[in-house]
Structures are given as structure tokens and as C-alpha cells.
Amino acid sequence: MKKIAVIGSGNVGCATVQRIAELEIGNIVMTDATEGVAKGKALDIIEAAPVLGYDVEILGTSDYSDIEGSDIVVIAAGVARKKGMVRDDLMKVNANIIKEVSEKILLYAPDAIVITVTNPLDIMTYATQKCTGFDTNRVFGMSGMLDSSRFAAFIAMELGISAKDVSALVLGGHGDSMVALPQYTTVSGVPLPELLPEDTIERLVKRTVNAGTEIVEYLKTGSSFFAPAAAIGSMVESIVNDQKRVIPASSYLQGEYGEDGLYLGVPVILGKNGIEKVIELELTESQQQAFSISADHIRKSILKLQL
Ligand SMILES: NC(=O)c1ccc[n+]([C@@H]2O[C@H](COP(=O)([O-])OP(=O)(O)OC[C@H]3O[C@@H](n4cnc5c(N)ncnc54)[C@H](O)[C@@H]3O)[C@@H](O)[C@H]2O)c1
Ligand SMILES: O=C(O)C[C@H](O)C(=O)O
């Protein structure tokens, strides 16, 4: 059995542990900075096992040494935004948390593949890689799978069809500058532009870009966690079972899509070695322009990072 560590046992961390347990893809260690939180929540998830029928070990702890030898580490530690905030407002406070967590990962799980979830996502993923010094193929962020799933969900709702038959693709930064790709979005193989008029697609794209904020505005004191946990679970599963799924993820770019030295959402092949390949798609001129704007935003933010 693989050993999977989830750092941070708040909303995202707990939903992720539950999802990974249900998938039965590894034994799990969940940690939190607040004493007792991970222990209590782990116990709660363990007590659901007889009902849900999963058979994995789950340890809750505030002792980082318990992550020793983990094969995969999910970083869900950090502050979530509240109503009225943008993800970038979290940069300073969460960079400090990423630094601390990364140092522990380096110490106790130096061979792990690391999936960063903490916001602002693309910048925190960059910070994770800088602080661990790990090869870039084994440090990446969860974003595009969530954004694509949201786009797919909105398309299914609009067409009144099963979400299962929608395959959507959203790239770029996990924020206002994300780039939805309708031409690579299909319903059972039929391209989206053949199914919906341009202005409807535009409306669904706008809702997708704003989807995290839409939830924050309802919740007021926190952000989404069920769909993020579903996406993280699928990414972990693809690694553990070497599925080589093609999933959009925040990946280190080295010339792909005309960008270099930063993390941004692109389709990748995800297998036992982490990111095995970045897939380059042809973008329209305006999509390539939007992608570059996304990259410029990330570049400027990286300059403000203090690690
Ligand atoms: N990438 C995405 O798509 C995505 C989606 C949802 C949430 N997020 C981000 O994930 C992060 C967590 O969100 P949440 O809703 O679970 O927040 P939350 O407040 O419910 O939980 C965060 C947990 O992290 C813990 N923590 C803080 N510092 C820590 C440290 N140094 N070590 C271990 N644990 C620590 C806190 O005690 C808390 O329990 C936020 O930054 C949020 O913005 C990202
Ligand atoms: O919106 C947030 O702050 C959390 C997350 O990034 C999301 O998109 O739901």
C-alpha cells in the first residue's frame, strides 16, 4: 500500500482524506497544526469505514515525523479566503505556511510527489518547488481539474444532460485569468461550439472563472471543498495506479505555451513519476494572449514572494 500524507485537516484536507479512503488507494496520514484536530477528524473518518466499506489505515497527528516515507503528499494547509477577498490576498500568510510545510516534507518525505492545493495556487506551487528543491515533475498543483469540472457541470446544467458525458478543458492560472477552451470541450465527442451559441458559451465561461468566488459569497467564511477533494482524489489515483490520465494541472513550464520558469495550468500526463509530459495544444490567438496575461500576472506575483 502506498503512503499518502495530507497536510492540513480543514475542509479540503478532510474531504480529501475521505475521498482517498473511499478510493482505497493508500494508507493515509493526516496532519494539522492545531493539536487534536487531525486526530479527532481521522477518528471520525475511521468510524465511517464500516458504513462506507473502505479498508485503509488513517492516522491523525500533529507530529510531522509521522509523514515519514510518504509516497505522495497533498498540501491543503493554509488560510482560505472569506467573502470580499481574492485568492492573492492570501499570498503572504500562506507562503509562510508553505515554507514551513515544505521544510518538513524535505526532512521526512524527500522522495514524495507533492500536490499543492493552497491558494493562490500557481504561486504556492512555485513556492513549494523552490522550498523543497524537488524535481519539477514531482511538484505540481491542483487547479485545472477543478476548473474544468466546474465548466463541465455548468454545460451539463445548461444542456440538461448527464455531466458524465461532458469533457471540458480549462487552462491558465487558477484565478481571474483562467483560460477556458470551448474547442477542446466536448459532449460525447461533439465539440461544444456545435451545441451552444457563442454568447451562451461565454456566459458559462464567465461563471466558471467566477465559480470559486460564487461559493465563497454563499459560505462567507470559507471556500469550496467537495469538488476540490474529488479532483485531488483523481490526481492521487492516477499517480498511485500509474493511470497516465490526461489532466490539467499547475505544472512547471519550460518553454511550453511560450512560457518559462513558472507554474501555470496546462494538460499533463499524470503517472507514477508525477508529471510525465506536458501536452501542448494549439490555442487561438486570443486564447494564447489570455494565457500570456495569466503568465504575466503569475510572474509579477512571484517577484513579491518572500521565502
Ligand atoms: N487549489 C484549489 O483549487 C483550492 C480549492 C479549495 C481550497 N483551496 C485552498 O486550500 C487551502 C485550505 O482550504 P480549507 O478550506 O481546507 O481551509 P480550512 O481553514 O478549512 O483548513 C486549513 C487547515 O490548515 C491548517 N494549517 C494551517 N497552517 C498549517 C501548518 N503549518 N501545518 C499544518 N496545518 C496547517 C489549519 O489549522 C486548518 O485546519 C486554502 O488556502 C484554500 O484557499 C484551494
Ligand atoms: O475560491 C477559492 O478561494 C477556493 C478555490 O480556489 C476555488 O476555486 O474554489
Strands 186-187 and 178-180: unpaired
| 245 alpha carbon – ligand 2 mean position (Å) | 23
pLDDT at 156: 98
Q: Is 119 in the pocket of ligand 2 (CB under 6 A)?
A: yes
Q: Which atom of ligand 1 is nearest to the CA of 90?
A: 41
* 3-state DSSP helix/strand/coil % of the chain, to nearest 5: 50, 20, 30
| 1 alpha carbon – ligand 2 mean position (Å) | 31
CA-closest residue to ligand 2 atom 9: 212
Q: Is 216 in the pocket of ligand 2 (CB under 6 A)?
A: yes
Q: Is 80 in the pocket of ligand 1 (CB under 6 A)?
A: yes
Tens-digit pLDDT profile for residues 101-141: 999 999 999 999 999 999 999 999 999 999 999 999 999 99
Annotated catalytic residues are 174
Q: In 3-state terms, what secondary structure has residue 143?
A: coil
CA-closest candidate to residue 59, choices 79, 81, 26, 31: 31
pLDDT > 90 in the chain, percent: 99
What's this model's pTM, rounded to 2 decimal places?
0.98
Q: Is 212 in the pocket of ligand 2 (CB under 6 A)?
A: yes
pLDDT at 212: 98
pLDDT at 129: 98
Q: Which atom of ligand 2 is nearest to the CA of 119?
A: 6
pLDDT surpassing 90 at residue 307: no
Instruction: Identify the sign of the CA torsion 136, 234, 229, 192.
Output: positive
Tens-digit pLDDT profile for residues 169-182: 999 999 998 999 99
Tens-digit pLDDT profile for residues 191-245: 999 999 999 999 999 999 999 999 999 999 999 999 999 999 999 999 999 999 9
Residues 233-258, mean pLDDT to the nearest whole number: 98
Average of per-residue pLDDT values in the chain = 97
Q: Which pLDDT band holds residue 39 (cuts at 50, 70, 90)?
A: very high
pLDDT surpassing 90 at residue 162: yes
Tens-digit pLDDT profile for residues 230-239: 999 999 999 9
Tens-digit pLDDT profile for residues 59-78: 999 999 999 999 999 999 99
Q: Which pLDDT band holds residue 268 (cuts at 50, 70, 90)?
A: very high
Q: Which atom of ligand 1 is nearest to the CA of 224?
A: 6
**Beta-carbon contacts of residue 190 (< 8 Å; ≥ 6 apart):** none
pLDDT at 306: 86
pLDDT at 103: 98
Query: Domains plus CATH for the chain?
Result: 3-141 (3.40.50.720), 144-302 (3.90.110.10)
Instruction: For residue 100, give the ligand nearest its CA.
Output: 1
DSSP for 217-281?
HHHSS----HHHHHHHHHHHHHHHTT--EEEEEEEEEESGGG-EEEEEEEEEEEETTEEEEEPP-
Tens-digit pLDDT profile for residues 15-35: 999 999 999 999 999 999 999
